[in-house]
Amino acid sequence: MKPPTPGMLAAGLVGVTVFTLMMVGPPGSYTPPPEPQSTGPAPSSISVNGFTLTSDTVDLPIDEQQYPDGPHADVINANCTSCHSASMAMTQPVLSADQWKATVTKMKDVYKAPVAEKDIPAIVDYLTAMSVAQDGAPTGKAQDTAPGTAPDVSGGTG
Ligand code: HEC
């Protein structure tokens, strides 16, 4: 018996390939399981060829993905938006610089946030300034009035 020629080998290979492709089926022939029926008010939807595209609107109370512009906003946006949106920090009560530092340290040590040590002061500065600006007046410490603007309560000279 003669050994198979390269041509015969090639033909066999093509045959096996075609057979395999026939068993697998053409790309896109996979049919996803049917969508579970949703309850509640029906959102607007459109059905084409068994696919249903639905459009729905959800109003979140606070939807700030990024920290608003300000000094060091770029640093905090680079470090603090990968796991949760900015609203996580924007909804905190007014905190002192030390308290913010503790939060940032917790993110880093407990939740393994990849925050560079050198970025922490900038982030704490941003958060402290944001926190105070957002709430108007800082709590805790009595408000100092700038010199010169204090009302004159001395009763005058005469
Ligand atoms: C590795 C993921 C990750 C990164 C990065 C991250 N956080 Fe968090 N953060 C979390 C988790 C997890 C929680 C807790 C969420 C919860 O309690 O539901 C959280 C909660 C918070 C809270 C809510 C108060 C608290 O103490 O739990 C604040 C504020 C906060 N993060 C600020 C920040 C700031 C600022 C940065 C950037 C320095 C940051 N996060 C980066 C994971 C992360």
Structure tokens at 65: 């993905």
Give the pLDDT confidence score for residue 42 in this predicted structure.
Answer: 56
Q: Based on C-alpha coordinates, what's the Rg of the chain?
A: 32
Structure tokens at 58: 């959800």
Rounded to the nearest angstrom, the distance between the alpha carbon of 78 and the centre of ligand 1 is: 14
Q: Which amino acid is at 149?
A: T
Residue with tokens 């041509």: 7
Specify the CATH architecture of the domain 73-135: Orthogonal Bundle (1.10)
Helix locations, the chain, DSSP H: 6-24, 73-80, 87-90, 97-109, 120-135
Residue with tokens 């946006």: 77
Residue bearing the CA closest to ligand 1, atom 32:
89
Length of the chain: 158
115 C-beta neighbours (distance < 10 Å), count: 20
Distance CA 96, CA 125 (A): 10
Q: Is the CB of residue 83 below 6 angstroms from any atom belonging to ligand 1?
A: yes
* Run of H or E including 44: strand 44-48
Give the pLDDT confidence score for residue 61 in this predicted structure.
Answer: 56
Rounded to the nearest angstrom, the distance between the alpha carbon of 33 and the centre of ligand 1 is: 36
Rounded to the nearest angstrom, the distance between the alpha carbon of 112 and the centre of ligand 1 is: 10
Give the pLDDT confidence score for residue 13 in this predicted structure.
Answer: 75
Each residue's pLDDT expressed in tens, for the chain with a length of 158 residues: 667 787 777 777 777 776 766 766 666 666 767 776 656 555 678 888 888 888 887 665 556 789 999 999 999 999 999 999 999 999 999 999 999 999 999 999 999 999 999 999 999 999 999 988 876 544 444 444 445 455 556 665 55
